[in-house]
Every structure is written in C-alpha cells, then in structure tokens.
A and B are shown apart, each in its own frame.
Chain A
Amino acid sequence: MGSPTSQEDHAGEGPALVHLYDAGDRTPPHDLLARERQVISFEMPHTAATMLGAVSGLGIDQFDLMGTSSGATIALTAALAAPERVRALVLESPAATGPPAGDLELEGALSGLRVPVLVVIGTEAGPIAAETGRTLKQLLPNCQLLYVYDAGDAVAADRPEAFAEAVSDFLERHEQYVVSRRSSVLFP
C-alpha cells in the first residue's frame, strides 16, 4: 500500500490538489500545478479509503482530486464515497472504467454526483479513450470533456503547459471556466 509520496517535492501554497497516478506514468507537471496550489501526490496502488484516510491524516478536509489512468477510477470512487470533501475532480485519460454495462447502481450513483468534473483526453489517444470520455460525460451531470491536441494517453507529459493551464483554470472556476478571461487588447 502506498503512502503520500514526495509531498514536499511538489508542495506549493494554496488549496490542496491530490493526484492519484501510476508509478509508471510519465512525469506529471506538478511543478506547473503547484504554482497556485499544494500538490499532494499518491502513487498507485491505492484505494479510495486509504487515500481519503491519508489526506485526513494530513489535516486536510476539502481538496481537489485528480486521477490519471487507473488513478482516475480510484478518484471517481473516492468522490462518490465522500462528495462533500471533493471540490472538483479531474480525470486524465481515465481507464475504461465507466461502469460495466448494465451496472445500474453505479450509473445511478454517477448521475447523482454533483462534483464538477473535467475529463481530459489526448487527441492521439485513440477511439477507446475518447469513448470512455464520452461515457463519463453522459453519466456525470456536471462534466466537461476536454481534448488536448497532439497528446496521447500521457496527456500531461505530452503537453504539460496545455494540461496545467486547463486544469488550473477548471479547478479555480469549475464549469465557469468556459467563459474566457483572456484580454484581446493589444495596446491600451
């Protein structure tokens, strides 16, 4: 069973972001995400319960939660178990976990999850990744589906700046992140 890893390495100041990822995943852009938040990363394997317990042990009640690949499955499970603790959820290249076909109980649970969710898929990741993203978008009532151009399954490693910008904006503004704040003024 894993424990929080390299917490100090990635710690920034600000709201907590818990990241569940596989040790085999290519380096996630924690440095970029840690500019405005405290990043606490957990290498898989983990269960939702051990992760939630470990975060409580750090004295953190509410947090943003990000899961990569199979970590996304655990993140989703944790959000279902403790929705009041998860401010927002980011699922990067989620493993094809959506609920097994016909699992009406899980489908029902997902359709009741009000937590804002961002599903991030690379455009080069293939049709199964996109289909998983669509399945989640259709089941989750407050879900944004984001394609990162020219990224494969390792979205964050392939396009770190693009990934971190979208995730940071989403974690700050949730579904309101669709409204641009970029200025188009060239010269005052």
Chain B
Amino acid sequence: MKAALFSIVPYVGQAEHGTWPVPARIYSSEVAGRSMEMALEQYELADQLGFDWVTLAEHHFAPLSLTPNPMVMAGAVTQRVRRAKIALLGATIPILNPVRVAEEFAMLDTLTGGRVVAGMLRGTANEYVTYDVNPAESWGRFEEAMALIIRAWTEPLPFGWQGRHYRFRTVSIWPRPVQEPHPPIYMSASSPEAGEFAARHRVSIGFAFTTLPLASGAARHYRERAAACGWQPAPDDVLYRVTAHVADSDEQALEELRASGADTPRRGFSGSNRPLDDAVAGAGYYGRDAANQRGRIAAHTRPIAERIEQGALLAGSPDTVLGQARRIRDELGAGILEVVFSPVGRERTLRAIELFGTGVLPRLREL
C-alpha cells in the first residue's frame, strides 16, 4: 500500500464558520502566509519520510482551504518536494477553462519531471456558485472538459474543439506533459454515475469524506463496471482519503484529538449553507444516489469512536493505525491511503506525520 499526505491548506487563525461564503472581516494576511508555510512544511516532511504522494485540493471562498487554485500552490510545492508525486485532487474542471487546466497540469508535469497526478473532480456543491456555473450542467461539463483536456495533452497538431459546453477554434498547448501518453487521472467515484464513467474511461478513482462501508460499496460497483468494460483496476487505481492522528500511545492520540476540539468538528462546505445545497441538489447535482451523497459528509460530524469505527478516522499509536489502515486495504482494496493529519497544533501534527512515516509507512508498504 502507498501513502499520500493531503493538506487542504486550512487557515490556522480565527475565522467565522458555519456559513459559506465566509466573510473576511477578521482576515489576517500574516496568518494566511503562515498557514501556507505550515502546509509546505508538512509536504516537505512527508517527502523526506518517503510518502509516495503529497496532495492538494481546490476549494473556494472559505478559510477551510486557502488553495482556490491548487495549481499555484503546486508550483510552490514543486520547489520543495523533490521525490514524491504531486497530486491535485483536484482541479474542479466543470467550473474552469479546460484548456487552461491542461496547460497548468502540463507545466507542473514539466516542473516535476513527470510527477504530477491529475485529479479531475466535480467539486462540492457550493463551488458552482463560485464562478457562476449552473450545477445542472455539472456532469455534461465534467465529461466534455476531461475529453478536451486529454485531447489538448495528446494531440500533436493545432486543433479546434466544437463541443456542447466549450468551443475553441485552435488549441496547441505548450509545454506538453512529460508523462506518456499523459499524467494519470483520478476522479471521485462516490456516486454510481461517477463509478460507471470512471470504469468506462479507465480512470482511477478516489474517495474522500466518506465512510469505509460506503466507499467499499462504491468501489465494488466501479470494479464490476470495469470488468464489464474488459479491464481490471489495480490496487493503485483506488485511493482512500482519511483523517488521522498518530501519537506514541492510543491514549495520547485520543487525548490530543479531544484537546484539539476534534469531538466537535466543523461543518464542511455544503453543510454550511443548507439553502444553497438544497438548490444545487434540486438542480440534480447529486444524481440518482442523492440521499447517500448528501448524507455521507454527516458521518464526519460523529464522535471520535464512531468515526474510527466507520473508517473515517485513523487514531492511535503506529501499531493501532497500521491495523486501521489494514482494514481499509482489506475491505476496500485501496492501494493508496491518503492521510489528512488532524490539526492538533503544529508541533503535534509534525510529530504525528513523523510517527506515521517511521512507524506506519514502512509496514504499510508490505500490505
């Protein structure tokens, strides 16, 4: 099993919560700069400890994440992370210019000598408000944008694109991706439609902010559809993102989590503006499995013990966390465990990363 370190690059100072978009009345540029530096410090440490990937994401208009354009942050990461792959999970492609996304991924692949993983996601419901995109068109735009990005990466001659949602009369991107034929693509497959699309297009999948039972069911659906399309996903085609805290003992890990307020987690993007989420849901954004898709975030607001039981949190000593990771490997068949280290204070978080890197990662590889 491989390991990735994910940071959403949270703003580490005081800010308003429970709403979206979040006002910037008490914003501090000094804190924001420090927040970014703390994330870079985590990425750099993960690289030194042998993590296989470091991961960034795209979110807008909230202190929960300071990387509305993860490509920009990844540009900085390329100068600090010299060995690990740099994964962007993702670019929220339906709200972006696909040609620009293809260019930015190609730049990063060039800067890293071919170490970029190109996540392409639909994003959380609120993202559609960010750039004024109709969420009812999310799937159509997603599918076409991915096709256009792949074409832009691989087409050797200037070409025009006459799409449904996108029109470009001439495209010929420079630089080109280093990886042949193009960087690996990951997409979310929590919904059945997404799993079916990924299977049809032989795209790898990732699960985030879900539970082990929900992800296992969705992964089964993906593998069944892949088999029907004549291929078999490898373990590395399935990534599972999970929050974790590691300390010298189980008791210490749980105590540090509680002290950090992890027992009263904040609501995520969609839960912070229910009318907005209802409107996006009403546009058909969540697809045919809407109840599960809207409900899976709620599992992350449950008490610590319950989240551990649901596979939504790894917590304890290195031995304990290894056992929890093994369960993810066994039940889900994930080849990549992507870890978000709990915000328990800078020193403790760095210590947790170090314990994971030295006490869990070497044995994780043997799973």
Which residues of A are in contact with B by a Cβ distance under 8 Å?
A: 123, 134, 137-138, 144-150, 159, 162-163, 165-166, 177-180
Contact across chains for B162 and A148 when beta carbons are under 8 A apart: yes
Do A180 and B169 contact each other (CB < 8 Å), given the known contacts A138-B157, A149-B144, A149-B148? Answer: yes
Between A134, A144, A147, A177, the greatest number of chain B beta carbons within 10 A of the residue's beta carbon is seen for A147
Q: What residue in chain B is nearest A169 (Cβ atoms)?
A: B169
Q: Does B227 contact A (CB under 8 A)?
A: no
A163 to B147, CA, bound (A): 18
Q: What residue in chain A is nearest B140 (Cβ atoms)?
A: A150
Q: Does B294 contact A (CB under 8 A)?
A: no
B164 in complex: contacting residue of A134, A146, A149, CB < 8 Å: A149
A147 in complex: contacting residue of B156, B162, B164, CB < 8 Å: B162
Across-interface contacts of A177 in B (CB, < 8 A): 169
Q: Does B151 contact A (CB under 8 A)?
A: yes
> Could you tell me the dominant secondary structure of chain B's interface residues?
mixed
Closest 10 CB pairs of A and B: A149-B163, A146-B160, A178-B169, A148-B162, A162-B162, A178-B170, A145-B159, A166-B162, A137-B157, A134-B157
Do A134 and B162 contact each other (CB < 8 Å), given the known contacts A149-B147, A177-B169, A178-B169? Answer: no
Jot down 13 A-B pairs with beta carbons below 8 A, ordered by A: A134-B156, A138-B157, A144-B169, A147-B151, A147-B159, A147-B160, A148-B162, A149-B144, A149-B147, A149-B162, A150-B144, A150-B164, A165-B162
Q: Does B158 contact A (CB under 8 A)?
A: yes
Q: What residue in chain A is nearest B148 (Cβ atoms)?
A: A149
Shortest CB distance B25–A (Å): 29
Contact across chains for A144 and B151 when beta carbons are under 8 A apart: no
Q: Does B161 contact A (CB under 8 A)?
A: yes
Across-interface contacts of B147 in A (CB, < 8 A): 123, 149
A145 to B172, CA, bound (A): 11
Shortest CB distance B79–A (Å): 36
Shortest CB distance B201–A (Å): 13
Q: What residue in chain B is nearest A149 (Cβ atoms)?
A: B163
- Interface of chain B residues 131 through 162 with chain A (CB within 8 A): 144, 147-148, 151, 156-162
Shortest CB distance B49–A (Å): 43
A138 to B160, CA, bound (A): 15
Across-interface contacts of A179 in B (CB, < 8 A): 169
A159 to B164, CA, bound (A): 9
A180 to B157, CA, bound (A): 20
Shortest CB distance A97–B (Å): 18
A84 to B304, CA, bound (A): 79
Contact across chains for B151 and A145 when beta carbons are under 8 A apart: no
